[in-house]
Amino acid sequence: MPRTTCTYNNYTTVDGHIDVSVEQFGLIINSDYLFIGASPNALVAYQCCGKDVVKIKCPYDFRCNDVMDHAFSSESCFAGHDTQLHTEHRHYYQEQAQVYICDIEICDFVVCNFIYVAPCIVITRVKSDSQFWGS
């Protein structure tokens, strides 16, 4: 299992979820539209709260910086000084497609790097946006 997926798995168990299963995944084809697919890094099943998809980004431009420096930079995909995805950013579009195609309500969007002994990681939950698909 890649280092980022292992790191994510460690965070989910620390976060208080019960009976967490993280499964690496490749291409998922939408059951209604067989010509549309998504490739999340993992599917997560929680006994306590259902399923999520996971998308992991390790930005090369910030490989030597703390991930929070990236989160608060003007080049970031995050909005302002919080860790919610900016709705006009391409990653927001990608994550909306992931949850729609996989028929899951939440995507855990993970940004990380490994500049320290322990990984530096930010996880933000991107919920399915029905207005996004309605427009």
Give the chain's domain count. 1
**pTM of the predicted model, to two decimals?**
0.79
CA nearest to 98, candidates 58, 127, 134: 127
Mean pLDDT, range 35-54, rounded to an integer: 88
Mean pLDDT, range 21-46, rounded to an integer: 89
Domain extent at residue 84:
3-134
Alpha-carbon distance 104 to 97, whole Å? 10
Query: Given this model, what pLDDT does residue 1 score?
Result: 42
Higher-confidence residue of 119 and 95: namely: 95
Query: Residue 64 sits in a domain of what CATH number?
Result: 3.90.320.10
Query: Given this model, what pLDDT does residue 28 score?
Result: 92
Higher-confidence residue of 61 and 40: namely: 40
pLDDT > 90 in the chain, percent: 24
- 25 in Cβ contact with 40 (< 8 Å): yes
User: φ, ψ for residue 100 (rounded to 5)?
Assistant: -65, -50
Query: Given this model, what pLDDT does residue 40 score?
Result: 92
